[in-house]
Structure 1
């Protein structure tokens, strides 16, 4: 295991060249709301159906409280992604469903705001989360699941070293319907395409 790159007031921050990632705060609400609102049409094909109150501050407050509980339990590590040049929120990446015992694995999920997709920000955020998961948390395996026609997301994961394992039938209810997903995985022993020293 490695020492955390940045720790301030029990808050985790991982620094990259173009972006840094840190846990979400309640003070991020306005930037999050604006970006999610602007990106709704871009995101909804890949996410669970948005509830009517999903962008309300009370729902965000509940989300932050839930994140803190999961961080304290060691089962989820949520991060918001910020561009270094102007501190702009560009998306989010989460390491969740962490299972210990004989498994030592977790799932990665992410989203990008529409103005920032395709600029390499998510690739760098992924390159920050992978060594955090393997070297700091001591996980053995990372998984990600993508809808088969989400070619962009599959390519991102494969570029980082994830390998396709198979089809998960009717795996998650996305955009209002049960959808198949492709399961991809990365093992600690795999050669992953990042700088392990981030």
Structure 2
């Protein structure tokens, strides 16, 4: 089942929230390269190839294939000149009685503090409820990632627990705080 990931929307500071596109490889490689140090504490160790347009092209093709299959929905935050300054992705989309997904996001170091993460996460929650019919979204943050925890709280996510050694981030297994947002209490979308 293919997923429509919604139209574009203007966010703060001239940034647009839009679906990830096949031709975003160069801009995404540049964004990851510029933000490499900023993102390193919160992400897996990336091989050098990850930062190349070729690897991003392969990655985007995979994400778009998974979107067509109904398992992933990727968006980017982009400026008018095409510069990518962030991304939000729903992964692990499940139907039936679980009717849930996971959310991950990041914002460029030079675009922090503008409310972009909160605006994008809120938009994704609305799309997940209204277009995908999802019941809930789950998020995890490293214990010390208080900035991301504030974003989630402002977007209506509630803490649901701790997960020891949950993710392999920055070279080691890390404990994470788990959050969820209930989107609706209707019957599940099958």
Task: Could you list the structure 1 runs, at least 4 aligned residues long, displaced by more than 6 angstroms after superposition.
Answer: none
Alpha carbons of 1:31 and 1:57: their partners in 2 closer, same or farther (altered >3 Å)?
A: closer
What is the CA–CA distance in structure 2 between the aligned matches of 1:176 and 1:120, rounded to whole Å? Answer: 29
**Residue 194 of structure 1: aligned partner:** none
What is the CA–CA distance in structure 2 between the aligned matches of 1:163 and 1:146, rounded to whole Å? Answer: 12
* Deviation readout 1:107-144 (Å, 9 max, x if unpaired): 00001111111211111111211110011100001100
TM, length-normalised to structure 2: 0.88
What is the CA–CA distance in structure 2 between the aligned matches of 1:13 and 1:152, rounded to whole Å? Answer: 28
SS at match of 1:157: helix
Between stretches 11-20 and 96-105, larger displacement belongs to 11-20
* Deviation readout 1:83-114 (Å, 9 max, x if unpaired): 46x55421000011111121000000001111
TM-align CA RMSD: 1.9
Higher helix share: 2
**Residue 155 of structure 1: aligned partner:** 150
**Residue 184 of structure 1: aligned partner:** 179
TM, length-normalised to structure 1: 0.84
Q: Is the 8 A contact 1:13 1:20 kept in 2?
A: no
Residue 11 of structure 1 and its aligned partner are, at CA, apart by: 7.2
Structure 2 runs not aligned, ≥5 long: 186-190
Structure 1 runs not aligned, ≥5 long: 5-9, 191-198
1:59-98 → structure 2 map (5 Å cutoff)? 59-83=55-79, 88-98=83-93
1:32-111 → structure 2 map (5 Å cutoff)? 32-83=28-79, 88-111=83-106
Q: Is the 8 A contact 2:140 2:177 kept in 1?
A: yes
The number of residue pairs the alignment matches comes to 181
